[in-house]
Amino acid sequence: MDARLNYMAQPGAAKAVKHFISGARTLRDSTLPSVTQELVALRVSQINGCSGCIDMHTKEAAHAGETPLRLHLVAAWREATVFTEAERAALELAEEGTRVADAAGGVDDAVWERAAKHYDEEQLTALVVHIAFMNMVNRLNVITRQPAGDYEPGQIH
């Protein structure tokens, strides 16, 4: 499958994409645990059907030492016993933050409170921006049918 567009071939888009990626790198350096960032990126990408991001974040997480079991269970995190309470709160926030159109009212207060119980304000800020960033990138990739399967760990991260 070929992509509909090559963002990097268009000077304006290439510049914007480079800024987006730079912003994501800044988030990576936050105090939000990197494993949480990868799990959230994977879950948001699963919901949005972004094969390129699923490919990338599965490989990045595995490369960083994440277990195959946990990676396979991200889609069913509610029923899985392999995630910490903090990770579960982040995944729940990621789901509600991604499905805002389905969640008549956005993110529920109880969901926010569970996340706030596990993450300080700096981490919550990084988590919210990360969720929004992943939704943006997912949409860029899905709209233009960016292909998946060729990503190598460290290629963009």
Domain residue spans of the chain:
32-142
Condensed to tens digits (0 to 9), the pLDDT of residues 7-61 reads: 778 888 888 888 888 887 888 889 999 999 999 999 999 999 999 999 999 999 9
Q: Return the amino acid letter for 83.
A: F
The span from the CA of 152 to the CA of 157, in Å, is 10
CATH topology of domain 32-142: AhpD-like (1.20.1290)
pTM: 0.91
CB under 8 Å to 4, separation ≥6 — which residues?
A: 143, 144, 145
CB atoms within 10 A of CB 129: 16
The span from the CA of 7 to the CA of 152, in Å, is 19
Of 140, 138, 155, nearest to 51 by C-alpha is 138
